[in-house]
């Protein structure tokens, strides 16, 4: 263990580097391939905790309120964020329904819950059972929470329909827009490798 103290290997090219203190918001990059090695995340735990908590509230709002309203010749159709999942299922495309459900409901909700669990434990010095597995699962889910992509997809859908009919944004859409911003900031404030470092440093 002592041999590796103060050293870090580049994730993308394996080159060893000596850890140096960073200026606020600084990023250490690999001298050979340019990949980020580690960042200065002063106050990152608190930021990630606050932003994840707020995101959970917005995620609930985004799922409860109507997402879009579609009006065409006196007919009105309203949907929710996850209505597409049910509709795809009804049309017999259960594979797509499961995938969409996973990436826009399950993965984001689970990741946010785990982030709150991990960052609050770090912040308040708790060492609950399951902290390690929670941290591992949270980092694995990161790429699969695709709410940002979904927002872009819904904008394209709105534009596609705008010729055909009148599409109105629901309350959910505004909550959703704010959610994307908070979620991105929470992700930027959190780094799983640095969370492990903090776990190790903090007295149990």
Partner 1 sequence: MLTATQAGLVSCHECGLLSRWSEPPRGGRLRCPRCDSVLHRRKPDSLHRTSALLTAGFLLYIPANVLPVMQVIYAGRGEPDTIMSGVQVLFNTGQPAVAVLVLFASITVPMIKLLGLTWMALSVRRGWRWRMRDRTVFYRLIEFVGRWSMLDIFMISILVALVKLQALSTVEAAPGAVFFASVVVLTMFAAASFDPRIMWDVEDARR
Footprint on this chain of partner 1 (rule: CB under 8 A): 1, 3-4, 7-9, 11-16, 32-35, 68, 70, 72-73, 75, 77, 79-80, 83-88, 91, 93, 95-96, 99-100, 103-104, 132, 135-136, 139, 143-144, 146, 149-150, 152-154, 156-157, 159-161, 163-164, 167, 192-193, 196-197, 200
Nearest alpha-carbon partner for 17 in 33, 3, 34, 30: 30
Angle at 41 between CA 26 and CA 188, to 5 degrees: 95
DSSP conformation class of 22: -
Strands (DSSP E) contained in 56-98 are 68-72, 75-79
Q: Given the complex with partner 1, which of 57 and 87 has the nearer CB atom?
A: 87
Nearest alpha-carbon partner for 71 in 161, 132, 190: 161
Least separation in angstroms between CB 137 and partner 1: 11
Q: Given the complex with partner 1, which of 54 and 169 has the nearer CB atom?
A: 169
Q: Given the complex with partner 1, which of 7 and 60 has the nearer CB atom?
A: 7
d(CA 54, CA 133): 24
DSSP state letters, 25-51: T-EEE-TTT--EEEE--TTHHHHHHHH
Q: Given the complex with partner 1, which of 50 and 102 has the nearer CB atom?
A: 102
Least separation in angstroms between CB 116 and partner 1: 20
Q: Given the complex with partner 1, which of 50 and 90 has the nearer CB atom?
A: 90
Least separation in angstroms between CB 70 and partner 1: 5
Provide the token pair at 171.
């309350």
């Amino acid at each position: 263990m002592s041999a590796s103290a103060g050293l870090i290997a580049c994730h993308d090219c394996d080159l060893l580097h000596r850890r140096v203190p960073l200026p606020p918001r600084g990023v250490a990059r690999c001298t050979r391939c340019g990949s980020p090695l580690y960042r200065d995340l002063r106050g990152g735990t608190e930021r990630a905790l606050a932003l994840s908590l707020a995101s959970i509230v917005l995620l609930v709002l985004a799922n409860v309120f109507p997402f879009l309203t579609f009006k065409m010749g006196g007919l009105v159709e309203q949907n929710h964020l996850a209505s597409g999942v049910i509709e795809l299922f009804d049309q017999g495309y259960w594979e797509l329904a499961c995938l969409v459900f996973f990436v826009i409901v399950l993965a984001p909700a689970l990741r946010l819950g785990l982030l709150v669990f991990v960052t609050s434990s770090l912040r308040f010095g708790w060492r609950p059972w399951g902290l390690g597995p929670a941290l591992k699962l949270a980092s694995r889910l990161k790429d699969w929470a695709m709410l940002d992509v979904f927002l872009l997809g819904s904008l394209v859908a709105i534009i596609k329909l705008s010729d055909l009919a009148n599409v109105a944004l629901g309350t959910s859409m505004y909550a959703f827009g704010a959610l994307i911003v908070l979620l991105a900031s929470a992700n930027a404030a959190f780094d799983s490798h640095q969370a492990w470092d903090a776990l190790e440093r903090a007295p149990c």
